[in-house]
Amino acid sequence: MAAARPALPSSPTSLLLARSISAPDLATAPTWRRPRRWLVAAAGAGALAASASAPAASMLLRDGGATLLVTAGAYSLVRAFDALTERRLVQQSLSRKVVHVLSGVFFMASWPLFSNSTGARFFAAVVPFLNCARLLTYGLGFYSDEALVKSVTREGKREELLRGPLYYVIVLLIIVLVFWRDSPIGIISLSMMSGGDGFADIVGRRFGSLKLPFNDKKSWVGSAAMFISGFLLSALMLSYFSWLGYIQVSWDQAIGKLVLVALAATAVECIPVTDVVDDNISVPLATMLVAFLLFGNTAH
Ligand SMILES: C/C(=C\COP(=O)(O)O)CCC[C@H](C)CCC[C@H](C)CCCC(C)C
Ligand SMILES: Nc1ccn([C@@H]2O[C@H](COP(=O)(O)OP(=O)(O)O)[C@@H](O)[C@H]2O)c(=O)n1
């Protein structure tokens, strides 16, 4: 009586495995040549795991690639302004502020490069984290990076890296981890810090002859530039993320709320507390508070 034929495995890999010993051989093959049941089961499990984790693998690949790309972008931005400052095509104080504006805006604009996985924000957070480490390393003098110092400091002193620039990048890290791209609070806070505060300096230094009565270091024009650029950039970035489907914006209410948030951020920026709290801390914190009170966690 012919020996009972073992049931052929059904999953793709185990079929492949079994095919290496064709079906008729299975019945007559000596025991040592029959695939062990555990081996067939393991191969089947592997095939199932591989087919189930394909999307996860592609997300991992996408997030890893986006992290590398944005990190390279950050490095290139600083290098570009180092070259412009070196060739005296851009003043050092202007270079710092343009890097201040562009790094926040470009970083926010890069967020859709990352996948929809729950871990995507942690990949995005790697970029400000690496720049934190970079600013600390060079600001504390463990190594020197003249390009970085020239493009993001006013007086070319490495210790300056440990104040404004470091606070700025820490705020970027917090915004990515806490709010990410599906909350208007982070988008508006980053817009006010990068666009608002950045243009307040750029415009105020040039045209700000009429100083504020309560703060002779700031001007009416600079504060107006803060309000207008912060409001416009916030509206632009809310539109960007809304258009991409990350948030829903009810513009009939959002515009009025954005005006109030921009007013609050501008008020905080112009009060004379810079000696106590850096603008890169006070402006985003004030914006987060007011945006949370007005928007909650939705942009309605
Ligand atoms: C100069 C900066 C802050 C100083 O502000 P303030 O004291 O003058 O008010 C900004 C420092 C930027 C930092 C060196 C680089 C940050 C890069 C960012 C995390 C990612 C940008 C990516 C994008 C694609 C360019
Ligand atoms: N509201 C403002 C803000 C800045 N500014 C001008 O920009 C310069 C730098 O501003 P700031 O001290 O806020 O600079 P950061 O602390 O943002 O780097 C000030 O000394 C003013 O000349 C202004 O005129 N009005």
pLDDT by residue for the chain (300 residues), tens only, comes to: 444 444 444 444 444 333 433 434 434 545 445 567 777 777 777 776 666 677 778 888 999 999 999 999 999 999 999 999 989 899 888 999 999 999 999 999 999 999 999 999 999 999 999 999 999 999 999 998 888 898 898 888 999 999 999 999 999 999 999 999 999 999 999 999 999 999 999 999 999 999 999 999 999 999 999 999 999 999 999 999 999 999 999 999 999 999 999 999 999 999 987 678 999 999 999 999 999 999 986 655
Residue 100 Cβ contacting ligand 1 at under 6 Å: yes
Enumerate helices (H) and strands (E) in the chain, giving the number of each: 12, 2
The alpha-helical segments, DSSP class H, found in the chain are 12-19, 23-28, 37-86, 92-110, 120-139, 146-152, 164-178, 184-191, 197-207, 220-243, 251-270, 279-295
Which ligand 1 atom is nearest residue 134's CA?
A: 14
Question: Could you tell me if the CB of 287 is within 6 A of ligand 1?
Answer: no
Q: How far is the CA of 164 from the centre of ligand 1 (A)?
A: 9
Q: Whose CA is nearest to atom 7 of ligand 1?
A: 164
Say if CB 212 and CB 267 are below 8 A apart.
no
Q: How far is the CA of 269 from the centre of ligand 2 (A)?
A: 9
Question: What ipTM was assigned to the predicted interfaces of this complex?
Answer: 0.96
Q: What is the pLDDT of residue 97?
A: 94
Which pLDDT value is given to residue 25?
A: 43
By most ligand atoms within 8 Å of CB, the mutation choice from 152, 167, 194 for ligand 1 is 152
What pLDDT is recorded for position 13?
A: 41
Residues in CB range of 222: below 8 A, 6 or more apart:
200, 201, 203, 204, 205, 208, 270
Report d(CA 78, CA 99) in Å as an integer: 7
Which pLDDT does position 24 carry in this prediction? 42
Q: Could you tell me which residues come within 8 angstroms of residue 142 by beta carbon, excluding any fewer than 6 positions away?
A: none
Tokens 């009025």 appear where?
256
Residue in 99, 168, 201, 216 to alter for ligand 2 test, most ligand atoms within 8 A of Cβ = 201
The pTM (predicted TM-score) of the whole model is 0.83
- State how far the alpha carbon of 287 is from the alpha carbons of 117, 165, 196, in Å: 27, 19, 11
Ligand 1 near 169 CB (within 6 A): yes
> For residue 200, which atom of ligand 2 is closest to its CA?
3
